[in-house]
Amino acid sequence: MVSRITTFSFEGVEARPVDVQVQLSSGQPAFLIVGLPDKAVAESRERIRSAFAAIGLAFPPKRIVVNLAPADLPKEGSHYDLPIALALLQAIGVVPGDALHGYAAMGELALDGALEETVGALPAAMGAESMGLALVCPSACGPEAAWSGGRVVPASSLIGMVNHFSGQNPVCDARPGELIDAPAGPDLRDVKGQEGAKRALEIAAAGGHNLLMVGPPGSGKSMLAERLPGLLPPLTARELLEVSQIQSISGHLEQGRLSRSRPFRAPHHSASMAAMVGGGVKARPGEASLAHHGVLFLDELPEFSAQVLDSLRQPLESGQAVISRANRHVRYPSRFQLIAAANPCKCGGGQAELACRKKPFCKADYMGRISGPFMDRIDIFVDVTAVTPADLSLPAPLEGSRDVAARIAGARRLQEARFENAPAERRRLNVDASAADIDALFSVENSAQELMLQAAEKMGLSARGYYRTLKVARTIADLEGGTAIARHHAAEALTYRQRSVELPTLQTARS
Amino acid sequence: MSDSRQTRQRHARERHGRNAEELAKWALRLKGYRILAHRVRYNVGEIDLIAARGKTLAFVEVKARRTLGAALDAVRPQAWMRIARTAEAWCAKHPDLADHDWRYDLMAVTPWRWPTHHPDYWRPD
């Protein structure tokens, strides 16, 4: 007789059903777990043994074989303890024969039989819901799992589960955790001066464009970037679910509380490739995935290693981070908005870039660390000049984050309507428009078209560069109420293109 | 021809052990076990007693010591492994017992006390 229960293994944010089968047979007493368990799964033997001893149960002197099917899928993590223990309890007759029918389970056992929090409860609960099963999970994960909308049984200990399944003391279903409001972030009103940079930030926020701010230290680049989440509209229900799944897998959801504010991730420039796009032993999501539907802020962009930056090119293009392993690929969604900041050169530049003694080569060297293809994916380049004392003495600007956010929300509504029929996995933003969308949905005035063509020729815009400029122009027009792209919209968009560092010829440098 | 002192001592211990096993046998019988074999010896090792009750086979190691503690500590893991290997060899010759559960028990025999039975004293994993 084989007793069985369903659990899940995680591939990216997807929960794959795993059938836990327990069979008892006579012969040499043994406890075997088969089905490609990793170390943490194989060790669950000892945890289950202790937990059983803690509730006064001994293993029967039998040959116990636990199979995790499909047997060729590697099983990682500690959440297999509870399903194995439950199936075993049924096999030895502590839990009635059909009690586990209609249930899936996940959770780690402590030696005293208590259940410990594990990651991935939300994707597991969604997987269980889609299969029409109720999920048994540690009570600490209950509020998080309950967001799936399915039935979730929070388990605080193994003995509690025995009482639940034998009908002596049924446990109430878990309730979803609270939805916390976005905490009030810093206000754009605190930034004095920098009108040009603020405008660029507003455009970037409205259309989801990638932005690079270049300016000397202390000019307010980081200050501006920190104010971006306050400008963005809250996550939609669908986006919230995607973001929460990633947070659940990486263990970032505390007490099942979800937040509608967009993620803002600011990794340090010493970050490794695994930290950025995901990886490690268990193929965890990286910063690029944690910033899904939010903002990835890279301060001191040229200080990041070239390899790390180039690893971001693929997620930037496809909206997915793919981690390749010897026997499989793990995919995490990572559709983020890239905001980067850089000093103009290694020396920092200072006021009007006078402090640099090695200019202009210093600047060319420093910016040259960032590869061309990476730069090509940045839509808006903006110089953030140093703040003068005169700027600081000015009164605070009248316009705060709230006014700007309202304009951005308006522009986003226009985009929402425009990309109504776009595929579901794409954001409804100008930045994600395909070339076909641009031809079909962007109305461009003739004068603007002319200007674009002239500029493309003069500035040597690539096809990608041309389309990206057009998308920025579309966003600018959307901020003004969504008319056709006029000449002045195109002109402003063109000013945000990257300008190469002008190097003097060798002769002028010598003179 | 007189035996050396060492040989005499060994014989004394042997006799002592046999007496303990006889006592253990009776103790098990009183608990409802059937004794299937005793002193099973193969080249992989030996088992003092093999008993059965219901669908359970008990491979019993009998230890006679002055104190209970000494008896409980007397069998080392390597010795148990030899017993387990012997059990496999013995069961291979008894296919009619294939549906029984296996258990490794310890019987501690101490002076002027009834032997104490410790079921499921050791497991192979």
* Band of pLDDT at residue A352, cut at 50, 70 and 90: low
Q: How far is residue B32's CA from residue B20's CA, in Å, rounded to a whole number? A: 19
pLDDT digits 0-9 by tens, B77-110: 999 999 999 999 999 999 999 889 999 999 999 9
Between B56, B84, B99, which is nearest A28 by CB?
Answer: B84
Per the domain annotation, does A22 fall within a domain? yes
Strands (DSSP E) contained in A211-336 are: 211-214, 258-259, 264-265, 295-298, 320-324, 329-333
CB contact under 8 A, B103 and A61: yes
- Measured between CA atoms, the residue of chain A closest to residue B83 is A28
pLDDT digits 0-9 by tens, A97-145: 889 999 999 999 999 999 999 999 999 999 999 999 999 999 999 999 9
Pick among B85, B99, B102 to test the A interface (most A CBs inside 10 A): B102
Q: Are residues A138 and A79 in the same domain?
A: yes
* Band of pLDDT at residue A299, cut at 50, 70 and 90: very high
Q: Are residues A203 and A299 in the same domain?
A: yes
CB contact under 8 A, B124 and A28: yes
CB contact under 8 A, B55 and A29: no
Q: How far is residue B39's CA from residue A209's CA, in Å, rounded to a whole number? A: 84
CATH number of the domain bearing residue A33? 3.30.230.10
Q: Are residues A204 and A242 in the same domain?
A: yes
B124 close to A (CB below 8 A): yes
pLDDT digits 0-9 by tens, A429-466: 888 888 888 888 888 899 999 999 988 888 888 888 88
* Band of pLDDT at residue A509, cut at 50, 70 and 90: very low
Label residues A30-39 b or e (16+ Cβ within 10 Å = b). ebebebbbee
Per the domain annotation, does A216 fall within a domain? yes
Q: Are residues A247 and A368 in the same domain?
A: yes
- Measured between CA atoms, the residue of chain A closest to residue B57 is A27
pLDDT digits 0-9 by tens, A361-405: 787 788 888 888 888 888 899 988 888 888 788 777 778 888 899
Per the domain annotation, does A476 fall within a domain? no
Per the domain annotation, does A504 fall within a domain? no
pLDDT of residue A511: 40
Q: Of A320, A242, A252, A246, which is closest to residue A285 (Cα–Cα)? A: A246
Bond from prior residue into A183 cis (ω within 30 degrees of 0): no
pLDDT digits 0-9 by tens, A143-191: 999 999 899 999 999 999 999 998 888 899 988 888 887 677 788 888 8
Q: Are residues A198 and A251 in the same domain?
A: yes
Q: Are residues A160 and A278 in the same domain?
A: no
Q: How far is residue A325's CA from residue A279's CA, in Å, rounded to a whole number? A: 9
CATH number of the domain bearing residue A378? 3.40.50.300
Total domains in the fold of chain A = 2
- Residues of B in Cβ contact (< 8 Å) with A25: none
- Measured between CA atoms, the residue of chain A closest to residue B88 is A28
Query: DSSP state, A113?
Result: S
Q: Are residues A126 and A210 in the same domain?
A: no
Q: Are residues A207 and A263 in the same domain?
A: yes
Q: Are residues A161 and A226 in the same domain?
A: no
pLDDT of residue A499: 66
Q: Are residues A192 and A302 in the same domain?
A: yes
Domain span at A313: 188-425
Q: Are A350 and A356 in contact (CB under 8 A)?
A: yes
Element (DSSP H or E) covering residue A383? strand A380-383
B108 close to A (CB below 8 A): no
Q: Are residues A204 and A310 in the same domain?
A: yes
CA A268 to chain centre: 16
Supply the Cα-derived Rg of chain B in whole angstroms: 15
ipTM given for this complex: 0.82
Q: Are residues A193 and A89 in the same domain?
A: no
Domains, in order of start, for chain B: 5-122 (3.40.1350.10)
3-state secondary structure of A320: strand
Per the domain annotation, does A310 fall within a domain? yes
Pick among A1, A24, A28, A62 to test the B interface (most B CBs inside 10 A): A28
3-state secondary structure of A179: strand
* Band of pLDDT at residue B1, cut at 50, 70 and 90: low
Per the domain annotation, does A450 fall within a domain? no
Per the domain annotation, does A34 fall within a domain? yes
Q: How far is residue A469's CA from residue B90's CA, in Å, rounded to a whole number? A: 83
Between B55, B102, B123, which is nearest A27 by CB?
Answer: B102
Per the domain annotation, does A505 fall within a domain? no
**Residues 54-83, chain B: which have Cβ within 8 Å of A?**
55-56
